[in-house]
Amino acid sequence: MAFLNPTHNHFDRRGFLKKSSLATLATLIGTDIVFANRLPKHYLPLAIDVDPMATKNKGLVVLNDKPWNVETPAHLLDDPITPADKLFIRNNGLIPEKIDPATWTLTINGESVKQARTYKLDDLKKRFKPYTYQLVLECAGNGRSGYFPKTAGNQWTDGGVGCAEWTGVRLKDVLADVGLKDDAVYIGYYGKDLHISLDPKKEVISRGVPMRKALEDETLLAWAMNGQDIPLVHGAPLRLVVGGWPASTSGKWLHTIAVRNKVHDGAKMTGKSYKVPINPVEPGVDPPEDQFRIIESMPVKSIITFPQTGAMLTKGQALILRGHAWAGDRSVREVAVSVDFGATWQKAELKPPKNRLAWQHWTTEIKLPQSGYYEIWARATDSAGVAQPMVMPQWNPEGYCNNACHRIAVKMG
Ligand SMILES: Nc1nc2c(c(=O)[nH]1)N[C@H]1C(S)=C(S)[C@@H](COP(=O)(O)O)O[C@H]1N2
Ligand SMILES: [Mo]
């Protein structure tokens, strides 16, 4: 196979297809594209775009090493609950050097608390009831590499997402214990990581959520992940976990939460960070700051975790597919798969979530009609009837929220 354009685009941006016929494509792919007559115009088959074999047996992929940004190839997300060694890593600064759970404290302050208060980590554990939830964390930039024109930032493909099981106390219980004023609007977190410049006065990231999200049952001050202490890279010894919203709201190495009487204005809350245009823009158009809104609930999405892209099937072999689907604050009501570039869809079996804001597992079995090259697409629909776009969501200048259908390539011999 020849792999000409190492990008993640669904469409031919470089005029390659103009110069080649379907026969050439088949030669490059090494076999016939079975539903070639269904190919959308200018559609770039996955096998031409990215070498499905190149990721074979590879582990997590480092997108950036300073700060540390690591994504998980889709097939490594096959576990129902994402284990610690398979959860993507997104750091905006440097991991704090000294973490001592025995002396760790959490301060709740801000304009809208009656009186600021500091808790030892042990007090939190002793004084409040613990809860455990499976919560999806997805970086808002997940899928960014699929946008054209290209947008700045880490070029995540599909692996900036995971669903671990988090244990901690409800933020709402702690806030009730502190006592809030009536004018509380937003919370903002502060973590102990260091700015890349090592300047201690510079804030790395300090984001937050409106009170209605902060006060949800599932919003946790968590000290455990998958039944163990949170690994250092994921925010030990205490992190905020806000399921279904951009994972940038889930503050790691948490030491302070401010209850604000206005929209929190910490680092990466202002400017265009984690914001999209209020009104759709033409690809490439970057409107002024006042025409952006903060991303809240993440859009519906699904992933194929089995088989791995590039799978070779023997003739007549049934293709068993499985994966997960999630939809921000909503649940997923249907997952369907297509083997003919979206012309027809087959409904998958879909399990309900373990709890609100957990991802849902889906599976289905497909019979491929003949030998050749196929692409498998998965598409989820949320509880409000909103489905994933098949190949191209709304472009936005920062490259957020790309929830296009995930696709894998398979060949049947
Ligand atoms: N203190 C702190 N919290 C943080 C970040 C950070 O850089 N510092 N990154 C945020 C972003 S952008 C994401 S996507 C998630 C990633 O969480 P993970 O590395 O545990 O997967 O953490 C969020 N919380
Ligand atoms: Mo992120």
The predicted pLDDT at position 44 comes to: 78
Give me the residues near ligand 2 (ion), CB cutoff below 5 Å. 90, 139, 248
Q: Report the chain's mean pLDDT, rounded to a whole number.
A: 92
- Closest Cα partner for 49 from 23, 100, 13, 85? 13
Task: Report the percent of the chain where pLDDT is more than 90.
Answer: 80
Tell me the pLDDT tens digit for each residue of 136-156.
999 999 999 999 999 999 999
The full 3-state SS of 123-134, as one line of letters, equals HHHHHCCEEEEE
What six digits make up the tokens of 301?
């999405």
Tell me the pLDDT tens digit for each residue of 177-214.
999 999 999 999 999 999 999 898 899 999 999 999 99
- Cα 384 to ligand 1 centroid, rounded to whole Å: 29
Instruction: Indicate if the pLDDT at residue 6 is higher than 70.
Output: no
Alpha carbon 375 to its chain's center:
22
Instruction: Indicate if the pLDDT at residue 5 is higher than 60.
Output: no
The predicted pLDDT at position 330 comes to: 98
Instruction: Indicate if the pLDDT at residue 37 is higher than 90.
Output: no
Q: What is the mean pLDDT of residues 267-289?
A: 96
Q: 3-state class of 224 per DSSP?
A: strand
Measured between its terminal Cα atoms, the distance across the chain in Å is 15
Residue nearest to atom 16 of ligand 1 (CA): 90
pTM for the model: 0.93
Comparing 57 with 256, the larger pLDDT belongs to 256
User: Would you say the CB of residue 91 lies under 6 angstroms from ligand 1?
Assistant: yes
Instruction: Indicate if the pLDDT at residue 255 is higher than 90.
Output: yes
Q: What angle do CA 284, 15, 411 make, to 5 degrees?
A: 105
Instruction: Indicate if the pLDDT at residue 22 is higher than 90.
Output: no
Instruction: Indicate if the pLDDT at residue 217 is higher than 50.
Output: yes
Q: What angle do CA 362, 365, 367 make, to 5 degrees?
A: 150
User: Would you say the CB of residue 92 lies under 6 angstroms from ligand 1?
Assistant: yes
- Closest Cα partner for 377 from 46, 26, 2? 46
- Cα 34 to ligand 1 centroid, rounded to whole Å: 42
The predicted pLDDT at position 59 comes to: 84
Q: Using CB atoms within 10 A of its CB, is residue 316 exposed (0-12), middle (13-18) or buried (19+)?
A: exposed
Tell me the pLDDT tens digit for each residue of 100-149.
999 999 999 999 999 999 999 999 999 999 999 999 999 999 999 999 99
Mutate to test the pocket of ligand 1, among 61, 156, 228, 250 (most ligand atoms within 8 A of CB): 250
The predicted pLDDT at position 350 comes to: 98
- Cα 366 to ligand 1 centroid, rounded to whole Å: 38
Mutate to test the pocket of ligand 1, among 230, 252, 257, 264 (most ligand atoms within 8 A of CB): 252
The predicted pLDDT at position 284 comes to: 94
User: Would you say the CB of residue 87 lies under 6 angstroms from ligand 1?
Assistant: yes
The predicted pLDDT at position 39 comes to: 82
Ligand nearest to the CA of 203: 1
Residue nearest to atom 18 of ligand 1 (CA): 89
Task: Return the ligand 1 atom nearest residue 141 CA.
Answer: 14
The predicted pLDDT at position 249 comes to: 98
Tell me the pLDDT tens digit for each residue of 58-81.
688 888 888 889 999 999 999 999
For each of the domains in the chain, give its residue range(s) and CATH number, in order of start: 83-294 (3.90.420.10), 301-412 (2.60.40.650)
* C-alpha distances out from residue 218 to 127, 241, 275, 358, Å: 18, 8, 24, 10
